[in-house]
Amino acid sequence: MAVLAHIISDKDPSYSCAVGIQTLVRLLESSQSSDTLALTADCVARLSHARTGLSAAMVSIDIVSLLCPLLVSPSQQVKGSASIALSFLSFNPLAERQLLQRCRRNPELMKILIYYNKKRRWSESFLGRWRHIREMTLPPIRYLLLP
C-alpha cells in the first residue's frame, strides 16, 4: 500500500502509507512463519531503500527492534532479509544509533550483518562508528540487574 499510495484516489496517501507500514509491523510482531517473516523483512528493505520518508516512519515506530531478533532465526532466508533491511535502515541516523547499540550489546549481530551484506550497502557513518567502537576495544554493553 505504501508504494501504491499515490494511485489510491479515495484515501490520503499518508494514510495509505501508514496502513501499509502498520501491516508490516503487525506481521513482524506476530508471525511465526519463516516465509512470512522473510518476505516482510524484504518489503521493509525495499521500502526503506525506495523512499527516505518511509524509512523514517518505520524507524520512528522502532522497526529496528523488530528486525534485530530475526538475525538469530534458524532460517537463512529470514536472517538475510532482516540483515539487508537493517543495512538500508543504517542510513537513517536514529536507526544507525539503535543498531550500533544492539551490536555493541551483542557483537555477534555485526558478524551476521556483515556476512549477509556487501559493505557497499552500509552507511559509511555506521561502518565508521562501528570501527571506532572496535578500535577503542569497548566492552559489550551489559545491563546490570539491580536488586
CATH fold of 13-135: Leucine-rich Repeat Variant (1.25.10)
What is the domain partition of the chain in residue ranges? 13-135
More confident residue, 1 or 65: 65
Confidence band of 34 (pLDDT split at 50, 70, 90): very high
Please report which confidence band the pLDDT of residue 119 belongs to, taking 50, 70 and 90 as the band edges: low
Check residue 81 and give its pLDDT.
94
**Of 29 and 128, the one with more pLDDT:** 29
pLDDT of residue 125: 85
* Alpha helices, DSSP H, located in 7-51: 13-30, 34-50
pLDDT of residue 82: 94
pLDDT digits (tens, 9 = 90+) for 80-110: 999 999 999 999 999 999 999 998 888 889 8
In this prediction, residue 5 carries a pLDDT of 45
Contact 78, 69 (CB under 8 A): no
Q: What is the percentage of the chain residues whose pLDDT exceeds 90?
A: 37
Residue 9 scores a pLDDT above 60: no
The yes-or-no verdict on residue 144 having pLDDT over 60 is no
pLDDT, one tens digit per residue, over 36-57 is 999 999 999 988 887 768 888 8
- 44, with CB counted inside 10 A (0-12, 13-18, 19+), is buried
Whether 64 contacts 89, CB under 8 Å: yes
Rounded percentage of the chain residues whose pLDDT exceeds 70: 81
Q: For residues 87 and 76, is the Cβ–Cβ distance under 8 A?
A: no
Residue 7: band (very low, low, confident or very high) from pLDDT cuts 50, 70, 90:
very low
User: Could you tell me the three cell numbers for 127?
Assistant: 561502518
